[in-house]
């Protein structure tokens, strides 16, 4: 049986980048992918535009427990190196609000340049290979697929991603294999995900979008906040602001069964006292009904604010507009989550090489690790950088 130098499991951004780098270092590489094509998650990245990097690339934008490892990875392969990597692949790109996108505004362009380089390298790609088990015999790893195929390799890189977007190739089998080899797995939960809440605002304002500020409040304590779009839906709350505070809400609910609220400031462009004065002045001028909030909020809000408007209670109305609380019941599922919070414990991974501290020759890269960045290109940047670094060290040891 042919024994590969390096077997890479998962053909997402981390796995593809690892494969390209390992091949450039003259290693005999095989890339294993459970789907019938590679890079399917790349195709939906950044709402189809593929936000692959952020100007402000540093460890502070990632979960606290992972920051030491992330800092080490970006110290070896940071913004300059990531841009250089894509430059060398021939990708043209631009920066908008500190976020980098391909000049075509199409994720397919990023995937295409990666595919071209992968095709020109000496990497063997095995599609429809869903890993079911892995064992190690002395210095050789034996990887088995569900349909009983077998691959042998001296080194292995886990790069199968997290649980988000299961239809696009996410896998849970490597979590179990990691545990089999003694690794701890932090319970994966959806991140950057809409939240569910039963509230008359959500019911009557379905489909309404506003620019707002939100806070995630766990057991009465504010833990994170964001400003951006809020979308009211039949099931609860979505929009960029909600996605930006959803990680801690998801962890609190799904791991710890804690009570979570979202505090909404629907009028972030006015201080509360200024809002009170504005409403009081309108009442003095004889404003009635929906006219009372015209130009401040969409007219649709009069439906849920009618009691306050009818009573002309300026103090209560102002407070409601600045401090509306929603009881969060849960999160939407993995099909609507952009990222995974949780994964293989980073404390068990060598922060410089990304090699397992427990299993010699096993490396881990990308979202399968308990590394979660905020939205804005951080997660794809870490996937690319960690893929490159894991392959570098796997090839040179």
pLDDT at 337: 94
Does position 221 have pLDDT exceeding 80, yes or no? yes
Task: Kindly indicate the confidence band of residue 397, based on its pLDDT and cuts at 50, 70 and 90.
Answer: confident
Q: CA geometry: angle at 223 spanning 204 and 195, to 5°? A: 30
Task: Kindly indicate the confidence band of residue 313, based on its pLDDT and cuts at 50, 70 and 90.
Answer: confident
Share of residues in the chain with pLDDT > 70 (%): 99
Residues in contact with 244: Cβ distance below 8 Å, sequence separation at least 6, in sequence order:
192, 224, 226, 228, 374, 375
Domain boundaries, the chain: 3-189+343-395, 195-331
380: closest CA among 36, 15, 113? 15
User: Can you tell me the distance from the alpha carbon of 324 to that of 332, in angstroms, rounded to the nearest whole number?
Assistant: 21
Does position 191 have pLDDT exceeding 70, yes or no? yes
Is the whole-model pTM more than 0.85? Answer: yes
- 366 Rama sector, left if φ>0, alpha if ψ -120 to 50, beta otherwise: left
> Distance between the two ends of the chain, CA-based, in angstroms?
23
Between 309 and 258, the higher pLDDT residue:
258
Share of residues in the chain with pLDDT > 90 (%): 90
pLDDT at 41: 85
Task: Kindly indicate the confidence band of residue 172, based on its pLDDT and cuts at 50, 70 and 90.
Answer: confident
User: Can you tell me the distance from the alpha carbon of 246 to that of 248, in angstroms, rounded to the nearest whole number?
Assistant: 6
What tens digit of pLDDT does each residue of 22-73 get?
Answer: 999 999 999 999 999 999 889 888 778 999 999 999 999 999 999 999 999 9
Summary mean pLDDT of the chain: 95
Range 70-106 burial, b when 16+ CB lie within 10 A, else e: bebbbebbbbeebbebbeeeebebeeeeebbbbeeee
Task: Kindly indicate the confidence band of residue 1, based on its pLDDT and cuts at 50, 70 and 90.
Answer: low
Report residue 185: phi and psi, to 5°. Answer: -120, 115
pLDDT at 171: 64
Does position 394 have pLDDT exceeding 70, yes or no? yes
Helix (H) or strand (E) holding 390: helix 378-395
pLDDT at 29: 98
Does position 352 have pLDDT exceeding 80, yes or no? yes
pLDDT at 290: 84
Superfamily in which the 3-189+343-395 domain is placed by CATH:
FAD/NAD(P)-binding domain (3.50.50.60)
Tokens describing residue 272: 């509360």
Does position 134 have pLDDT exceeding 90, yes or no? yes
Does position 169 have pLDDT exceeding 70, yes or no? no
pLDDT, mean of residues 171-188: 93
Does position 75 have pLDDT exceeding 80, yes or no? yes
Residues in contact with 328: Cβ distance below 8 Å, sequence separation at least 6, in sequence order:
195, 196, 197, 236, 249, 253, 260, 261, 262
């Amino acid at each position: 049986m042919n024994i590969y130098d390096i077997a890479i499991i998962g053909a997402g951004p981390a796995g593809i980048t690892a494969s390209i780098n390992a091949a450039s270092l003259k290693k005999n590489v095989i890339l294993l992918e459970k789907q019938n094509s590679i890079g399917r998650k790349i195709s939906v990245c950044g709402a189809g535009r593929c936000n692959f990097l952020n100007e402000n690339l540093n460890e502070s934008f990632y979960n606290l427990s992972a920051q030491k490892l992330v800092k080490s990875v970006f110290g070896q392969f940071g913004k300059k190196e990531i841009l250089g990597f894509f430059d060398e692949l021939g990708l043209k790109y631009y920066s908008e609000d500190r976020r980098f996108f391909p000049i075509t505004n199409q994720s397919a362009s990023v995937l295409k340049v990666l595919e071209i380089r992968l095709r020109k390298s000496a990497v063997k790609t095995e599609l429809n290979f869903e890993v079911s088990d892995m064992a190690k015999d002395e210095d050789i790893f034996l990887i088995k697929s569900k349909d009983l195929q077998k691959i042998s390799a001296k080194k292995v890189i886990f790069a199968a991603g997290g649980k988000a977007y299961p239809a696009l190739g996410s896998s849970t089998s490597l979590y179990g294999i990691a545990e089999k080899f003694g690794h701890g797995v932090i319970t994966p939960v959806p991140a950057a995900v809409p939240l569910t809440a039963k509230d008359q605002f959500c019911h009557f304002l379905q489909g309404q979008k506003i620019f707002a500020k939100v806070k995630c409040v766990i057991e009465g304590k504010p833990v994170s906040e964001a400003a951006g779009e809020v979308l009211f839906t039949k099931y609860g709350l979505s929009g960029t602001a909600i996605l930006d505070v959803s990680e801690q809400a998801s962890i609190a609910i799904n791991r710890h069964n804690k009570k979570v609220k979202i505090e909404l400031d629907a009028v972030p462009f006015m201080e509360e006292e200024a809002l009170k004065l504005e409403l009081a002045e309108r009442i003095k001028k004889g404003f009635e009904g929906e006219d009372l909030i015209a130009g401040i909020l969409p007219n649709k809000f009069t439906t849920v604010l009618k009691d306050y408007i009818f009573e002309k209670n300026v103090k209560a109305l102002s407070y409601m507009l600045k401090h509306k609380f929603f009881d969060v019941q849960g999160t939407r599922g993995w099909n609507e989550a952009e990222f995974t919070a949780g994964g293989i414990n980073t404390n068990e991974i060598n922060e410089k090489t990304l090699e397992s501290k427990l299993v010699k020759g096993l490396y881990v890269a990308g979202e399968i690790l308990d590394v979660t960045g905020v939205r804005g290109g951080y997660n794809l940047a870490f996937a690319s950088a960690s893929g490159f670094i894991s392959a570098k060290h796997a090839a040179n040891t």
